[in-house]
Amino acid sequence: MEMEGRPKMSHEPAGSAEEVSGAGLPPKPELDLNQFLPYRLNRLADRISDELERMYAQRYDLNVAQWRVLAWLSHCDDLTAKKVCTYTNMDKARVSRAVQALVDRGLVTRTPSARDQRVHDLHLTREGAELLSRLIPEAQDWEAELVATLSAGEYRDLLNAMGKLERQLERIG
């Protein structure tokens, strides 16, 4: 079964839909995940995240959730665990574990908010800032190596296309 705009791939089954699905049965629905954007984006994001986590774990004993908390703290003065959940799309339990591990290591402080005692403000400690001063350039260098295969225009177009998809999700979601 060919979809408009997509050529039949050599790994797709040969023969008519009836031959493939069996006599008298309706044609079997077909979805080539290698041509399905949500699958491809998720797979790519997982691979990137896994590679970064390997680097963070080996060099800094951090997991991805901890890195994301630190990264948001690197440029947000007003940050809470709830905001981290919103910004990163991580669940509350994962963020809570990451924050606690960072507090235990002395990289982050957690203090009751002056605005709302039910909420805790998160701040980098001196040690956390020093760690980020080493970690951020390495992460940026790794990203530069990853996208080195793209021209400046392709990189800009990729970011623009991702932004369009994110805005579309806000509209249809």
Q: How confident is the model at residue 173 (pLDDT cuts 50, 70, 90)?
A: confident
Report pLDDT for 19.
53
Q: pTM here?
A: 0.75
**pLDDT for the residue 24:** 83
Domains and CATH numbers, the chain: 33-172 (1.10.10.10)
pLDDT in tens, 72-118: 999 898 899 999 999 999 999 999 999 999 999 999 999 998 888 88
**Per-residue pLDDT tens for 120-162?**
999 999 999 999 999 999 999 999 999 999 999 999 999 999 9
Asked if residue 68 lies in contact with residue 56, where contact means CB atoms within 8 angstroms, the answer is no
136: region left, alpha or beta (phi > 0 left; psi from -120 to 50 alpha) = alpha
Strand order in the sheet with 120-124: 79-80, 120-124, 108-112
According to DSSP, the β-strands at 79-80 and 108-112 are unpaired
DSSP-based three-state secondary structure for 61: coil
| Residue (of 137, 161, 119) closest to 71 by Cα position | 137
- Kindly report the backbone phi and psi dihedral angles of residue 61, in degrees, each rounded to the nearest multiple of 5, phi listed first: 55, 45
165 phi/psi in degrees, rounded to 5 = -65, -40
The predicted structure's pLDDT at residue 73: 95
Query: For residue 126, what pLDDT is reported?
Result: 97
Per-residue pLDDT at 4: 46
